[in-house]
Structure 1
Amino acid sequence: MGIHQYFKRLSDLEKLIRLPGKFKYFEHNVAAHSFKVTKIAQYLGTVEEYHGNEVDWKSLYEKALNHDFAEIFTGDIKTPVKYASGELKKLFSQVEEEMVDHFISEEIPEQYQAIYRKRLQEGKDDSLEGQILSVADKIDLLYETFGEIQKRNPEPLFFEIYEMSLETIMQFDHLNSVQDFIENIIPEMLTEKFIPKSELRETTMSILNNRNG
């Protein structure tokens, strides 16, 4: 028991495969996802700061780096399952919170427990940093599915998750960083060469056009 166990459990994040149970050309793990989300959040925060918004960088980095720590206990749950209903999502969140709280009580020194309860709590909230985390998380998921679609993976789940991810990102189109993503990054992404390009472009443009409808 103690911090040794916390450090030891970090390696478990490397063994947790995202989107389990489906054929993938490239396996992504939770540890890599957390790193990528942090890097994406850094860019999004930079855009927000450039446009005059104050970014709490300490909060943003802590939210991004720690946002999937609970998956050490639950594993990665497929997006369509986790978000099938508000009640189910709430139940998953409650289980994760209870398991993280128990872990902190057992393994983190008492004098640091309050700090880690705040640090490891759900980071997606109404703050600018929480909104950036929500977007960064879905951008990485979008790119994971884009990579499979680009390699002609026939599994329809990847198109479904791509669409759900983009729709979630669009919910934050009031952010300068999301406007930048829509106007500059998505068009560049769609110029890459891949076979199901027309279908993906059609899906993407349909979601983007709904924003202006």
Structure 2
Amino acid sequence: MSNSHFFAMISRMKYINRWGLMNNTFNENISEHSLQVAMFTHCLILMHNDKFGENLNADRGAVLGMYHDSSEIITGDLPTPIKYFNPEICDAYKKVENLAEERLLSLLPQSLRHYYDDILHYNEKDELLRKYVKAGDKISALTKCMEEIKVGNREFTDAFETTKKSLENMNMPVVDEFIKEFIPSFQLTLDKLE
């Protein structure tokens, strides 16, 4: 039996910093970001189930959130303004991400690949869950902007407004409720959180 390098590679998420074009007060890596996305996604799906009486799999949503940026171990974090600059760049980058996901899958033992293939690659059965992962991803970006602005870094002011508008445009009532319930606390000091 040969060794699998999958988790050694996944652990390198901590070396990939986000917000590369921005002047950051503190760095955020994709490992930290992915944990936050997983937690936000999990809660969003639980709120959805509670509100609509459904039974979406919040645990699976959290796992999809944990791995949603894993291809960036290979590709790096391409800043949003570049990634979405035009359709050609966006399509080309999706192909690069797909190749990176295939590379990660190749590092797994054959017996596990089909489980992770279902996590790393898009599939229609997870379409609604992935909408919540996307919302969790945007909420994570919103909180990063808020934390930077809170310490006086105006570099993130426009990103905050753009992200906030993007969340509003998702037209997801549960996302609006989550933001109302949980996000104002990110503006508070530690003493006020007690």
What is the alpha-carbon distance in structure 2 between the residues aligned to residue 67 and residue 20 of structure 1?
18
The answer to whether the aligner puts 1:178 opposite 2:145 as a matched pair is no
- Identify the residue that residue 163 of structure 1 maps to in structure 2: 161
Partner of 1:53: 54
Q: 1:74–1:123: structure 2 CA closer, same or farther, 3 Å change rule?
A: farther
| Alignment check: 8 A CA contact 1:124 1:134 kept | no
Q: Partner letter of residue 83 of structure 2?
A: K
Deviation (angstroms), 1:40: 0.8
Distance 1:118 1:11 in 2: 20
| Deviation for aligned residue 1:137 | 0.2
Q: Distance in 2 between matches of 1:120 and 1:190?
A: 30
State the Cα deviation string for residues 111-154 of structure 1 (Å, max 9, x = none): 22222222111479973211111100000011111111121114
Between the aligned partners of 1:122 and 1:2, the Cα distance in structure 2 is 28
TM-score, normalised with respect to structure 1 = 0.77
- 1:65 is aligned to 66
Match of 2:4, SS state, is helix
Secondary structure class of the residue paired with 1:32: helix
Amino acid at match of 2:167: I
Number of residue pairs the alignment of both structures matches = 188
Tell me: CA distance 1:125–1:27, structure 2 relative to 1, closer, same or farther (3 Å): farther
Q: Structure 1 residue 13 and structure 2 residue 22: aligned?
A: no
Q: How does 1:102-141 map to 2 (within 5 A)?
A: 102-105=103-106, 107-122=107-122, 127-141=127-141
CA distance in 1, matches of 2:15, 2:3: 20
- Measured in 1, the distance between the counterparts of 2:69 and 2:3 equals 19
Contact 1:47–1:176 (Cα < 8 Å) also in 2: no
Could you say if the C-alpha distance between residues 149 and 178 of structure 1 is closer, same or farther in structure 2, counting changes exceeding 3 Å?
A: same
User: Counterpart of 1:180 in 2: which secondary structure?
Assistant: helix
Q: Is the 8 A contact 1:17 1:28 kept in 2?
A: yes
- C-alpha deviation, 1:192, in angstroms: 5.2
Task: Indicate the residue corresponding to 1:39 in structure 2.
Answer: 39
| Corresponding residue SS for 2:19 | coil
Provide closer, same or farther for how the CA distance between residues 180 and 161 of structure 1 changes in structure 2, counting only shifts above 3 A: same
What residue in structure 2 maps to residue 211 of structure 1?
none
**Quick one: structure 1 residues 190 and 10, their matched pair in 2 at CA, closer, same or farther if it must change by over 3 Å?**
closer
Gaps of 5+ in 1: 194-213
Where do 5+ consecutive residues of structure 2 fail to align?
190-194
Q: CA separation in 2, counterparts of 1:112 and 1:171?
A: 38
SS at match of 1:152: coil
